[in-house]
Structures are given as structure tokens and as C-alpha cells.
Amino acid sequence: MGTAFCNEEKINKMKMKNILVTGANGQLGNEMRVLSLENKEYNYFFTDVAELDICDEKAVMAFVKENEIDVIVNCAAYTAVDKAEDNQELCAKLNSEAVGYLAKAAEENQAEFIQISTDYVFDGTNYVPYRETEPTCPNSVYGVTKLAGEKKALEYCSKAMIIRTAWLYSVFGNNFVKTMIRLGKERESLGVIFDQIGTPTYARDLASAVFAAIRKGIIPGIYHFSNEGVCSWYDFTKSIHRIAGIGNCKVSPLHADEYPAKAPRPHYSVLDKTKIKHTYGIEIPHWEESLEQCIKELNV
């Protein structure tokens, strides 16, 4: 009976899907780690550059083949939007070329591929939420390279899913929420842009959506994901301070042109989530609801 149990355990382990998560030390990668504890039906390989350099095509191909990877979730990216303007080669390598290597490796091993992309593939001139079918028109190096990565993923892998997201934050790494909490405690006043509109995205909610897609099985194509609702960076900051109990810092609205940046930002980048909600049967929380969860976990 003991032997039968052991054999059954081996068979179950053999059937487990092997999931590779690249960029595992970033915001989304870390949230994938957190949720992996609740999704124990899979076998995970969490890698960052020390474990797997995704810019090395041979290393990527070998890793995916040797570990019999069934699903690749690429959370790795060059995300320093302003620095990208001066580091075009490195940005293109990480956001485009490396995506091509992962997509080819996925295709060769009949694996599914989830590529995380961005609202920066749009120029932000819309006035209604962007659907997946809208024409792309990036106006920054970051946006151009991320769009190139999307195209490579879809061209090289027949089981590729692109998830565009925006305004990502979490309890991990450096992000807008953490910065506004720190500045709110350090300063008496703060100016924040009010004429750029979008939707904050809690990385844990995005990770949940990734797992929903893996569970159902990838239906190839482009999808949009952010939390529900709409706000400006100014509104976002006011909510961050309110929830974090910061009351001694006066937050004032600024025009975008009062806060010069090397790379242009989309003025409007609200994403329409209808497709991902219907395809994978997911419900998405309002951004303030998720912000409360994150700040509670930060324990500020």
C-alpha cells in the first residue's frame, strides 16, 4: 500500500505543469511567488538574471528544454522609462530581443507564453478606454521596444498571450505608492500631475489574472488588465495619503508640462478590460479597494 501511494505521488508529480517565471525579483515576479503558495498544483522555476540571462538565446533554449517548461511568464523588462531614452540598445535587448528568444523556446517545446506589456504602446490621445484592437502608436523608446516585444511574442509562439497593464505597484520594489508615502511623511507639500489619466494596477491582482489564464489554458492574443476605475496621479496620491493616514502634507495639482520628463507619458491610458474578464471569467477589484489592501500589508 505504501508503494502504491509512492507511485501515485510520482505520477502526480509527473503530471504537474512546469512554470517558468522570469524577472522573479521584480514587482510582478514577487507577487507570482506569493500566489504560487496558493497554487501548489504547479512546479515553479523563479529566475532572475543570476539564474537565467534571458538575453542569452542559447541559455534560454537550454533552460526551457532541460526543465520541460510548460508555461513561460515573462515578468522581466527594462522599465526605467526616462533612462531608456539614453539606453536604447539595452532597452531593446531586454524588451524585444529577449522576448523573441523566450517565444522561440516556448514554441520549440510546445509551451504557452505570457508576455507582460504596457499602456505605453499607445500615445495617450484617446478619450475612451483603449481596446486591444486600437492602433498602437508609442512615442517613447520604452513603448517602442515593448511593442516590438509583443510582435515577436505573437510571431514566434503560437500559444502566446500578451497582457498590457499600467501604473503597476505592490509591496515589493520601488513604485509610486511607496514613493508618495515616503514623500508624504518627509515633506509639508507636494505637487503631483493631475492631467495624466489612467488606472493604478496592484501587481497581486495582475498575478491573479495570470494564474486564471494558466488554469484555463492560454487563448492566444492581446489582453488588457488594470484595476477598475479611473484617476489622475494627483487623485491617486490623495487616496494613498488618506489610506496611509498622512494628513500633514499638502498635495497640489500640477500640469504635466510643469514636471518635465525625458520620455513623454500618455495623457490618457485607461485600458478596457472587457476581453480578459469575459475570456477568463475574472472579476477585477476597484483600484481604491486594492490600494487599501496593499497599504495595509505595507503596515505604514
Q: Is the confidence at residue 12, as pLDDT, over 80? A: no
- Residue matched to cell numbers 512615442: 139
Q: Tell me the Cα Rg of the chain.
A: 20
Q: Which of 52, 56, 35 is nearest to 104 (CA)?
A: 56
CB atoms near residue 101 (< 10 Å): 21
Calculate mean pLDDT across residues 102-116: 98
Q: In angstroms, rounded to a whole number, what is the distance separating the alpha carbons of residues 297 and 267? A: 30
Q: Is the confidence at residue 6, as pLDDT, over 70? A: no
Q: Is the confidence at residue 52, as pLDDT, over 80? A: yes
- How far is residue 178 from each of residues 28, 60, 93, 239, 250, measured CA to CA in Å? 15, 33, 29, 13, 17
Q: Is the confidence at residue 25, as pLDDT, over 90? A: yes
- What's the burial of 115, exposed, middle or buried (CB within 10 Å: 0-12/13-18/19+)? buried
Per-residue pLDDT at 280:
98
Q: What is the pTM of this model?
A: 0.94
Per-residue pLDDT at 7:
55
The stretches of the chain forming alpha helices (DSSP H) are 2-15, 27-36, 57-66, 81-84, 88-92, 98-108, 141-156, 176-186, 203-216, 233-244, 274-280, 287-298
No. of H helices and E strands in the chain?
12, 12
Per-residue pLDDT at 260:
81
Per-residue pLDDT at 8:
54
Calculate mean pLDDT across residues 264-286: 97
Catalytic positions: 142
Per-residue pLDDT at 259:
83
Q: In angstroms, rounded to a whole number, what is the distance separating the alpha carbons of residues 95 and 84? A: 11
Calculate mean pLDDT across residues 74-92: 96
